[in-house]
């Protein structure tokens, strides 16, 4: 009982959790606000893994993503470790 069987043609891609430094880009928060107010906008999200030299070793492209939750980390005065967390529902994945 703790498993799921999938047949041909049924795809369950699940969710992607993104954690990033807070305040770097207001676009993510705006995307969450738009979606939470009923203006759903599907976006493409690309995650790149870098090797030690800083070059892209592998990347994943997630298509038709829509935010399902947003969380802003605790911020204390003088702290530079504030983070944001966005969970998105994935429509399709492409491995590059």
The string of pLDDT tens digits covering residues 34-52 is 998 988 789 999 999 999 9
pLDDT at 22 over 70: yes
Lowest-confidence segment of 18-22, 52-56, 91-95 by average pLDDT: 18-22
Question: DSSP letters of 39-83?
Answer: ----EEEEEEEE-TTSSEEEEEEEEEEEEEEEEEPP--TT----E
Query: Once rounded to an integer, what is the mean pLDDT over residues 52-68?
Result: 93
Joined tokens for residue 29:
């928060």
pLDDT at 66 over 90: yes
- pLDDT band of residue 53 (cuts 50, 70, 90) is very high
């Amino acid at each position: 009982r703790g498993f799921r069987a999938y047949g041909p043609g049924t795809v369950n891609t699940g969710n992607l959790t993104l954690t990033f430094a807070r305040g770097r880009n207001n676009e993510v928060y705006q995307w969450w606000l738009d979606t939470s107010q009923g203006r759903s906008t599907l976006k493409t999200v690309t995650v790149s893994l870098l090797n030690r030299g800083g070059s892209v070793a592998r990347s994943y492209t997630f298509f038709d993503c829509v935010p399902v939750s947003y969380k802003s980390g605790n911020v204390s005065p003088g702290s530079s470790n504030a983070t944001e967390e966005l969970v998105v529902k994935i429509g399709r994945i492409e491995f590059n």
